[in-house]
Amino acid sequence: MQTLREFTRKTKRGNILKIVREHYLRDDIGCGSDLCQYCFQNEVYQLTSSHEIKSSLFKFPHYIVLDTNVVLDQIDVLEEDVLHNVIVLNTVLNEVKHKSSSIYKRLNEIIHDRTRNFYVFVNEHHKDTYADREPDESANDRNDRAIRMATKWYDSHLQTSQDSKVFQRSGRTVTRVILLTDDAGNRAKAVSEGILVATATDYVKSLEDFPLLVDKLSHKTFQNEKQALPQYPPHLSMKEILDGLRHKKLLQGAFQASRENYLEGSVNVESYQKDILIQGRNSLNRAVDGDIVAVELLPESQWSAPSEIVLEEKNVYADDVPSEERVEDEKEMLQQLQAAPVAERTPTGRIVGIVRRKWRQYCGILQPSLIEDTTRHIFVPADRKIPRIRIETRQADKLLNQRIIVTIDSWPRNSRYPHGHFVRSLGPLGNMATENEVILLEHDVPHCKFSEEVLSFLPKMPWTITEEDYAKRVDLRDLYICSVDPPGCTDIDDALHCRELPNGNLEVGVHIADVSHFIRPGNALDKEAAARGTTVYLVGKRIDMVPELLSSNLCSLVGGVERFAFSVVWEVDHDANILSKRFHKSVIKSKRAMTYEEAQAIIDDVTQTGEIAKSLRYLNQLAKILKKRRMDNGALVLASPEIRFQVDSETHEPLEVEAKQMRDTNSMVEEFMLLANISVAQHIAAEFTECAVLRRHPKPPMTNFDPLIKAARYQGFEVVTDTGLELAHSLDRCVKADNPYFNTMIRILTTRCMMQAVYFISGSLQKEEFFHYGLAADIYTHFTSPIRRYSDIMVHRLLAASIGADSTYAQLLERKSNEEICNNLNYRHKMAQYAGRASVALNTHLFFRDKEEDEEGYVLFVRKNALQVLIPKYGLEGTLYLKSDKDGKDGLERAKSEIIFTFNEEDHTQRCGNVIFHSFDPLTVRLSLDSTNVQHEKLVFKLVKPYIKGFSVETTTEAVTSANAQPPAKKSKKDKKKK
C-alpha cells in the first residue's frame, strides 16, 4: 500500500517549495508478542509472558510503550535490568536519534540485548498505525498522536488475540498495553482516548519489587521547592539569545570553570584573543564546565583581573542557605579584584543564557547529611570544576563510603546547586580499581572491553608469515636491529639499526610496527581504534587502543621474533648529513629488546665490541649531532616534573617513588624518532597536498610568556621571547651556581607558557602555519607509534599509498572526514595526558599515606595566598597555603592577627616579618597526606625552614629553644574543649 507525504519548505531566497514523497505502508509487520495469533513473526518473539512486573498502579500483566521524553530523561532507569516487554516505536527511535546521539546509542544497546525484551515496532510503515500530519498540526503534536495511535492499536490487537476460548480456559489474566509519558497534554489526550497511561515517576514508584529504582529517576524539580526565593538571575530565552548574537550584543563560547577558584571561570570566544573572564556567583549564573553559553561583555570600566586566590567551597549541606563564611569569601575576592591594576585587567563579562548544555555523568561521593533519615543529599564531584549536585536517594547509608556516578537533570533559579539523580555505584572509596575507574570516567577515556565484532577482525591464531608476504616486503631479518624502551614495555613500536656501508657512510634505519597491515580501513576494529584515539597509560595499568593480541604480540617488535615493519632508511655521512632516504615495508627480526639502562651500559662498556654495541655507539654519536643541530635552529628543551613508581605486583600499590632519570639513550631514541617523523611528513605533504595528516605546535601569544619573563627578571635574567631561537638561548643563560635546579624550574615555567600541539589536515591551513614551534621544524607528523596512536596509522596508510605498498581508498583522501578524526584525536590525546597526571597524583597520595617526610624544595610561583612548591626529589608540586586557619587546626592557634603575610604585587613576593619568599627560593617543607576530605585527599605542605614562629612546623630543636625563651602560653578555651 502506498501513500503520499506532502510538506513545504522555504528556500534561502524566500520561495516556497512543495515536496511530495511516496510512503509505503505494509500489513505484514509483526507485533513481536507471543500472545498474538494473527501476526507473522519474522524473528524470535521479543515480547513474552515470562516477564511480569508487579505494579501497584497496574495490577495485571502489561507491555509498556515509551514516549520520547521518557527515553531522553529516564535512560538511566531503562538501563537497569528491571523493565521488560517494552515497545519502542519507530517514531520514538527517530526522535531520540535527532535529539541526542549518546542516548540513542545507549537505547540501541538495550534493544540489542535480547534478555531485556525491548521490541522495535515500525509503526510509521504499518497500515493501521501510520498517522498522516493534519493541517496546522505541529510535528511534535503529530508524533504524540502517532504514539497514542500505536499504543491503542497494540492494546486492542492483543485483546483480540486473548479473546479466544483457549486463552480464557487457561485462566490467565489479560495482558494490556500502557503508555508512559511525562507530557501532561499527551497524557490528558491519552486518558480521553481510553488509553492506559502513567508518568514515568508514578510508574517507577509503583514497582513493588524495586523500591530503590526511584533513586535513578531524573528530577527536574524537588518537592516544595517552588516557594524558595531566586538565587540567580534569569536566563534569556533562546529567541533573545539569537537576537543578541545577531546584533552582536552578546558573545557565544565554551565555558571553562576554574579548578582553583569556584567563583571564577572563563569563556572562550572565537573572535577574542583572550578568554572572557567571569567572576562571582551571579555572573557565573548556573553555567557548568563545558556548556556553550551566551555572554554579555561588561563595560571596560568594570573589567577585572584573573584572581590569584585559591578558593575552595567549604562543606555545605542540603539546605540552600549560604553560610556567612561563603559570602565573606566572595566579598573578599571581589574587593581584591576591583583594586587590580588597570594593566592586568582583561575583558570581563557575565553569563546571560545557555545555548547548549554539555552535561555528562559525574563521579564523586555523597556528603554526609546533618539531618537523620532524609532522602535529600549533596553529591560532591571528584572534578573540582563541577558544582555540587543535589540528589534524592533512599540508600545513603550504603553509598556513604562508595564512589558513585550522578548525572545532572536541571538547575532551577531557586536552587544553589543543580538537581540530579543517582546512576550507579563504582565501588569502595580508596580501592585502587575503583579510583582508576573514576580517573578513566572523569577523563572520558573509552575503556570497556573490545566487542565481539571488533575482535572478529583480528588475525586467526596461530598466525605465520607466508611466502607471499616475504615476496611483497624487503627482507631485513639479517640486520642487527634492536629496540630500546622503558622497563616492562610490551607494546614495542620502534626498533633501530646502524651499520657502516662499503663507501664509508652509515646506513641508519628506523623500523616501526606495521599496524596498518592488521587494521584495515572502515572495519569495526578500525572504527574502535579511531574512537579511542590513543593508548592511555596509568600507573601500573594500560588501556590499549587496539586489542592485546596486536599491541603486545603480533605488532610488538619483540626480540628474536619475525615481525612486519614499516622502515625508513637513510644513508648519512659521519656528520649526520642525509645523503638519501627510502621508505618500504619490511620483515625484521629484532636481535634484542633492551631498556634504556641496558643500552646505556652497553655503550659505556668499552669491552663490548659486538655488532649491537657498534650500532648503538654510532646511533648515539649521530643523535648528539642531530640534537645540537636542532638546538642551533631554535628547538626548545623544556621540562616537566615527572616521577615513576615501583608498584607491588599483587596489591598494585606504590612501593617506591622517584623522579624519572634521563640518559643519553633516551635522547638517542628520541632524535631518530623525530628524524623519521619529519622525513615522513615531508614526503606525505608533497604527495597529498590536501589531505596529509600533520602535527603543528602554534607559537604562543606573547602574553603567555609574561609570568616567565617576570619570574626570570626578579632573579636578574632577561628572557627574550621574540623567536624560538632567542628563547632557547635565553633559557640556556638562566643558570645559578648556588641553585643547580634553577634552570630546570625556568624550563618548567616555560613549558606552561606553551600552546597545545595539535593534529590537522594539510589542506586546511597555509604552509606557514605548519610550523612546530617546540621542535623548530617547518613540518612534522607522527609516524613512529602506531600501536598506541591512531594518527600514526593514518600516516602509515598515506605513506603506503604514496609508495605503492598499499591501495588508497575514498575516505583516506576526504578532507572533511579526516578533519573530524583529527579533532577527536586532539581531544583524546589531551584527556589521556590529564588521566595520566591524575593517576600519578593518586599513587603519590597512596605512597604518602601514614608518612611524614621533611624534604627540600623550591618556590615555583608566589600567589596572593599561597606558595606553589616543587620537590625535586619526587618531581612533586603542591601548594603551601599562607592564609592562617581560623579554627586553630592541628592545635596551633594561628589567628590572623598573629601571622600576617603581605603579598607584593610589584615583585610577586610574600613577606612575613623578616622572611621574604621569592620565586625559586629554596625552603624545607614537611609532606603529609590530609585524608580529612575523603573525596579529595591531598598532600599537605607545611613550612619547616625558614622558620616562622607560630606558622612553621615545630621541630624538636625549635620547640626546646622556644620553651627556653619564654614561659608556656596559657591554654585557650578551644584547646581545653579539645581535650
Q: At residue 320, does pLDDT exceed 50?
A: no
Q: Which helix (H) or strand (E) holds 253?
A: strand 251-257
Q: Computed from CA positions of residues 291, 296, 299, 301, in that sequence, does the dihedral angle turn out positive or negative?
A: negative
Confidence of residue 964 (pLDDT cuts 50, 70, 90): very low
Q: Are 454 and 528 in contact (CB under 8 A)?
A: yes
| pLDDT, mean of residues 752-773 | 91
| pLDDT, mean of residues 579-601 | 93
The one-letter amino acid code at 519 reads I
Q: At residue 931, does pLDDT exceed 60?
A: yes
Range of weakest confidence among 9-18, 73-82, 867-876: 9-18
Phi-psi region of 533 (alpha: psi -120 to 50; beta: other; left: phi over 0): left
Q: At residue 164, does pLDDT exceed 80?
A: no
Tens digits of residue pLDDT in 884-896:
444 334 434 444 4
Taking the C-alpha atoms of residue 952 and residue 913, their distance in angstroms, rounded to an integer, is 13
Confidence of residue 979 (pLDDT cuts 50, 70, 90): very low
Nearest-5° Cα angle at 250, 249 to 254 = 165
Tens digits of residue pLDDT in 618-650:
999 999 999 999 888 888 887 666 656 555 555
pLDDT number for residue 958: 44
DSSP 164: S
Q: At residue 368, does pLDDT exceed 80?
A: no
Query: Any idea where the domains of the chain sit in the sequence?
Result: 2-216, 225-429, 452-693+775-832, 849-974
Confidence of residue 325 (pLDDT cuts 50, 70, 90): low
pTM for the whole structure: 0.78
Fold match between domain 225-429 and domain 849-974: yes
Q: Are 679 and 568 in contact (CB under 8 A)?
A: yes
Taking the C-alpha atoms of residue 90 and residue 83, their distance in angstroms, rounded to an integer, is 19
Confidence of residue 133 (pLDDT cuts 50, 70, 90): confident
pLDDT number for residue 884: 43
The one-letter amino acid code at 7 reads F
| pLDDT, mean of residues 664-672 | 88
Q: At residue 79, does pLDDT exceed 50?
A: yes
Q: Which residues contact 506 (CB under 8 A, 6 or more apart)?
A: 498, 499, 500, 571, 572, 573, 574, 618, 622
Closest listed residue to residue 504, CA positions, set 567, 608, 575? 575
Q: At residue 969, does pLDDT exceed 50?
A: no
Q: At residue 858, does pLDDT exceed 60?
A: yes
Taking the C-alpha atoms of residue 304 and residue 301, their distance in angstroms, rounded to an integer, is 9
Tens digits of residue pLDDT in 202-245:
999 999 888 888 888 887 665 555 566 788 999 999 999 999 99
Range of weakest confidence among 264-278, 885-899, 927-941: 885-899
pLDDT number for residue 233: 92
pLDDT number for residue 414: 86
| pLDDT, mean of residues 817-838 | 92
Specify the 3-state DSSP secondary structure of 304: strand
Q: At what angle do helices 524-532 and 790-803 cross, to 10 degrees?
A: 130
DSSP 315: P
pLDDT number for residue 333: 59
DSSP 534: B
Q: At residue 968, does pLDDT exceed 60?
A: no
Tens digits of residue pLDDT in 485-501:
888 888 899 999 999 99
**Which residues lie across from 841 on neighbouring strands?**
none
Q: Are 263 and 284 in contact (CB under 8 A)?
A: yes
**Which residues lie across from 391 on neighbouring strands?**
377
Q: At residue 33, does pLDDT exceed 60?
A: yes
| pLDDT, mean of residues 67-92 | 92
Taking the C-alpha atoms of residue 351 and residue 287, their distance in angstroms, rounded to an integer, is 8
Based on the number of CB atoms within 10 Å of its own CB, is 703 exposed (0-12), middle (13-18) or buried (19 or more)?
exposed
Confidence of residue 160 (pLDDT cuts 50, 70, 90): confident
pLDDT number for residue 340: 59
For 401, the grid coordinates are 563510603
For 522, the grid coordinates are 572502515
Segment of 289-293, 313-317, 392-396, 487-491 carrying the highest mean pLDDT: 289-293
Q: Are 524 and 457 in contact (CB under 8 A)?
A: yes
Range of weakest confidence among 14-28, 252-266, 350-364, 366-380: 14-28
**Fold type of domain 225-429:** OB fold (Dihydrolipoamide Acetyltransferase, E2P) (2.40.50)
Taking the C-alpha atoms of residue 72 and residue 319, their distance in angstroms, rounded to an integer, is 29
pLDDT number for residue 523: 92
| pLDDT, mean of residues 248-263 | 89
Q: At residue 321, does pLDDT exceed 50?
A: no
**Which residues lie across from 64 on neighbouring strands?**
86, 178
| pLDDT, mean of residues 755-775 | 91
Q: How far is CA 252 from CA 306, 345, 359, 500, 513, in A?
A: 20, 21, 18, 61, 44
Range of weakest confidence among 10-19, 50-59, 385-394, 526-535: 10-19
Range of weakest confidence among 400-404, 731-735, 963-967: 963-967
Q: At residue 751, does pLDDT exceed 90?
A: no
Q: Alpha-carbon dihedral of residues 392, 351, 361, 841, nearest 10 degrees?
A: -110
Look up the CATH architecture of domain 849-974: Beta Barrel (2.40)
The one-letter amino acid code at 979 reads K
Q: Which residues contact 861 (CB under 8 A, 6 or more apart)?
A: 707, 711, 867, 868, 919
**Fold type of domain 2-216:** Rossmann fold (3.40.50)
Average pLDDT, the chain: 84
Segment of 180-189, 265-274, 301-310 carrying the highest mean pLDDT: 180-189
From first CA to last CA, the distance across the chain in angstroms is: 88
| pLDDT, mean of residues 113-129 | 89
pLDDT number for residue 5: 60
Taking the C-alpha atoms of residue 653 and residue 582, their distance in angstroms, rounded to an integer, is 47
Q: Computed from CA positions of residues 599, 552, 758, 245, in that sequence, does the dihedral angle turn out positive or negative?
A: negative
Range of weakest confidence among 173-187, 408-422, 749-763, 896-910: 896-910
Q: Which helix (H) or strand (E) holds 403?
A: strand 402-410
**Which residues lie across from 939 on neighbouring strands?**
929
The residue among 56 and 51 whose pLDDT is bigger is 56
pLDDT number for residue 898: 64
Confidence of residue 1 (pLDDT cuts 50, 70, 90): low
